[in-house]
A = this chain, B = another copy of it.
């Protein structure tokens, strides 16, 4: 492979990464909206915000039949971060509403 060919290939791959990242961002924002809607229902009905059983279900859903190549433990850590960040968004919203 010449350096020019390598650069062309890298450029194409990087464009694809940027596209995928914007798609992932769109899904994360959509997920945040749904989490906010869940929070609204829970607040209206005074239901507990944190439900460990449901959290297990969320992890099972993404860990089951993972086709890879991203390993299960890596996938789990990414979703732990996602869930944690969305919990913080919820907590901040509740604080603001109480103030």
Select one of B22, B28, B44 contacting A24, CB under 8 A.
B28
* Max chain B Cβ within 10 angstroms of own Cβ: one of A3, A14, A17, A35: A17
Cβ–Cβ < 8 Å partners of A94 in chain B = none
CB distance from A36 to the nearest CB of B (A): 7
Interface size class of A (residues with CB under 8 A): 35 or more
What distance in Å separates the Cβ of A64 from its nearest Cβ neighbour in chain B? 10
Q: How far is the CA of A46 from the CA of B85 in the complex (A)?
A: 38
Tell me the A residues contacting B by CB distance below 8 Å. Answer: 1, 3, 6, 9-10, 13-14, 16-18, 20-25, 27-38, 41-42, 44-45, 47, 54, 57-58, 61-62, 66-71, 74-75, 77-79, 81-82, 85-86, 88-89
